[in-house]
Structure 1
Amino acid sequence: MSDFSMKPLPPLLWLQAFEAAARTLSFTAAGHELGVTQAAISQRIRLLEDRLGQRLFVRHPRSLSLTPAGQAWLPSLQDAFTRLAEGTREVFGEPGESPVTLRTTPVVQQNWLAPRVAAFREAHSEIALRLVSAIWPDDFGPEGADLEIRYGRGDWPGVEALSLGQAVMVPVCAPALAERFATPADLAGHTLLHAVGFAVGWPAWLEAVGAAGLESRCAALSCDNQMMTLALAARGAGIALTHRRLIEERDDLAVALELPVESDEGFWLVRPARRQPRPEAERLWGWLAQGLDD
């Protein structure tokens, strides 16, 4: 075994940058193809040349050309990429055969997404879907998902974000319990179900409806996710605060007080900004976007 075979290969991103730039003879075109800037391509190739100890390109004022070393290396690198692609297809199928992955929280899956996915499947049974749950903010990110539904202000870097509608918070409970509430003061003595991570929680909602401090006269039960607060509320264990959109498909929950409070946070349909979406993912995006007012 040679000494070189014992050394780690250069990072794949560097190799991809070289192959694309060598094929197009343009750092700019390579950047467009790989979804990065021209400067990123230039940096990756410079790092690759430093690792290899030889120049791969001759930089002319308005063009590029390959050095003899670059010309000699390119065919073997392209052959390696071809064999890697063929092996991937043999094991995982064609790119179009892989399912469209949509990641979001369980409460959105159950209360907003499920009926829309069911309708999408009826119209597009040929498209395979994969739903992935995310609980914590760190669970989200562009890696591994074609689309996401996130909660926040829609200001995440590197993504295209489409609002899923006005964020309006309302108190909800079991239908039989809802009849007991006419004003916010009627909540005194009842259990308020708290879900962490929302800008408009019970203190903020009570202040907005003119009942600041009323939570001190109520029992409290805290959960680390909204799905549990809604499950408890549906069983008469207290009153939950949630987005109106998340209960529109449920008959086991009713609005306790028709006093909506707007939030500057909400749910957003999200996809990576730089990645070219697959046709199947584009169809799902369009379907969900068209159904926002349903």
Structure 2
Amino acid sequence: MSLPPLATLRAFEAAARHLSFKRAASELAVTPTAISHQVRLLEETLGVRLFDRKPRQVTLTAAGQELYPTLRDGFAGFAIAIDRVKARKQQRSLTVSVLASFAAKWLLPRLGGFQAAHPDIHLRLHTSAEVVDLNSGIADAAVRYGRGPFAGMVVQTLFADRFAPVCSPMLNIQQPNDLRGQTFLHLEWLRPDEATPTWARWCKRAGLDDVDLSSGLSFSDDTHAIQAAIAGQGVVLASSEMVRSEIAAKLLVQPFGPVMEGHHYHLIHTGRSANIKEVEAFGAWLADEIAKDGGV
């Protein structure tokens, strides 16, 4: 294989995940200058810019957004394979494949509760938006978003997603007409369908027929779109569950509706995993967490 040096890929993945050279440097125990050097080396190797550098922040270019998810999933795969080798002597383990945004915005803040309730289960998360073959041994179960059907699988439906405009309170948006002239933050869905919540569909439902949606910013990772909204860079049509904590902290506001119904999140497994008891324990814990939220 003809690949760039691993150190450059590792530095880019950390910087893209944090959208910060400083935080990437802290994670990798190097200096921000070292991260910057490695990213520059990768950009020179590939012949494209991967970041737009501004005085106090960095953002991914189109090339960076294309490269990041593959590297993110690749490093996650390395970690899972290494963990499996190291953990063979452990009696109880569980690997769950999850969407990166679900992991970051919903699951990770709650995982301390699962570890407290099940200290004997070694949980590993595999983050990927792609379909995972649960018969291959990559994961024991998966949390996925969609309508199904999931043929031959045991499915535990978790909760329905809902989408509404959210933005920084700094923008002072109070009614739908205030959206005119604002920057729209668009999400690039991997497998869009007729129920995918887009700005065009939302504007039609809200009765805004003359809003220019041709410009704005597009994101392949909705966690980055949410961060852009927090920074006041525009308005995003976001999942209410994925921005729950930001709204509670008043970093974002949902100024008005209408609210669009999305698909459901599901816990999926074969029912035949060697770790079926661990899968069932994880499913029961998810159900308890959702019940604490009022059923979502």
> Which TM-score applies when normalising by structure 1?
0.61
Amino acid at match of 1:270: I
In structure 2, the residue matched to 1:202 is 199
Query: Per the alignment, in what secondary structure is the counterpart of residue 116 of structure 1?
Result: helix
Instruction: Map 1:82-161; keep pairs closer than 5 Å.
Output: 92-93=88-89, 96-97=91-92, 99-135=93-129, 137-138=130-131, 140-142=132-134, 143=136, 144-161=138-155
Say whether residues 1:221 and 2:213 are aligned partners. no
| Counterpart residue number, 2:281 | 283
CA distance in 2, matches of 1:274, 1:213: 53
Q: Which residue of 2 aligns with 1:211?
A: 208
Counterpart position of 1:232 = 228
Distance verdict in 2 for CA 1:223–1:215, change over 3 Å: same
Q: For residue 269 of structure 2, what is the aligned residue in structure 1?
A: 271
- 1:242 corresponding residue in structure 2: 238
Measured after TM superposition, the shift of residue 281 of structure 1 is 2.1
Q: Deviations over 1:208-260 (max 9, x none)?
A: 122134243x7411111211111111111111111111111232642333314
Runs of 4 or more, structure 1, over 6 Å off, are 88-91
1:145–1:215 CA distance, 2 compared to 1 (3 A) = farther
Equivalent position SS for 1:227 = helix
Contact preservation (8 Å) 2:162, 2:262? no
Q: 1:275 offset after TM fit, Å? A: 4.1
Structure 1 distance, partners of 2:185, 2:163, is 14
CA 1:181–1:247: 2 relative to 1, 3 Å:
same
Q: Which amino acid aligns with 2:206?
A: V
Q: Residues 146 and 271 of structure 1 are in contact (CA less than 8 Å); yes or no, is this contact kept in structure 2?
A: yes
Cα 1:182/1:276, change in 2 over 3 Å: same
- Structure 2 CA distance, aligned partners of 1:213 and 1:160? 45
Answer whether contact 2:229 2:252 (CA < 8 A) is retained: no
CA pair 151-91 structure 1, distance change in 2 beyond 3 A: closer
| Aligned-pair CA distance for 1:165 | 1.8
Deviation at 1:167, TM superposition (A): 2.0
CA distance in 1, matches of 2:173, 2:150: 39
The answer to whether the Cα contact below 8 Å between 2:156 and 2:283 also exists between their aligned partners in 1 is no
- Mark the runs of 5 or more structure 2 residues left unpaired by the alignment: 1-83
Residue 183 of structure 1 is matched in structure 2 by 175
Query: In 2, are the aligned partners of 1:148 and 1:269 still within 8 Å (CA)?
Result: yes
Matches within 5 A, 1:157-172: 157-172=151-166
| CA–CA distance in structure 2, aligned partners of residues 237 and 156 of structure 1 | 38
> CA separation of 1:260/1:129 partners in 2, compared to 1, >3 Å: closer, same or farther?
farther
Q: Residue 112 of structure 1 contacts residue 249 of structure 1 at CA under 8 Å; is this kept in 2?
A: no
Structure 1 gaps of 5+ residues are 1-87
Structure 1 residue 277, shift from structure 2 partner:
4.8
Q: Deviations over 1:128-163 (max 9, x none)?
A: 11011103x34x331321221111113222222223
Cα pair distance change 1:164/1:260, threshold 3 Å = farther
Residue in structure 1 matching 2:255, options 229, 254, 257: 257
- In structure 1, what is the Cα distance between the partners aligned to 2:211 and 2:127? 35
Tell me if structure 2 keeps the 8 A contact 1:208–1:261.
Answer: no
Give a deviation string over 1:18-49, Cα, whole Å, max 9, x none.
Answer: xxxxxxxxxxxxxxxxxxxxxxxxxxxxxxxx
Gap change, CA 1:239 and 1:154, over 3 Å in 2: same
**Structure 1 vs Structure 2 CA RMSD:** 2.6
Q: Partner letter of residue 158 of structure 1?
A: G
2:184 matched residue in structure 1: 192
- 1:73-127 per-residue CA deviation (whole Å, 9 max, x = no partner) reads xxxxxxxxxxxxxxx9998225x33x21111122111111012212111222221
Task: Calculate the TM-score normalised by the size of structure 2.
Answer: 0.61
Q: How many residues align?
A: 200
One-letter code aligned to 2:198: G
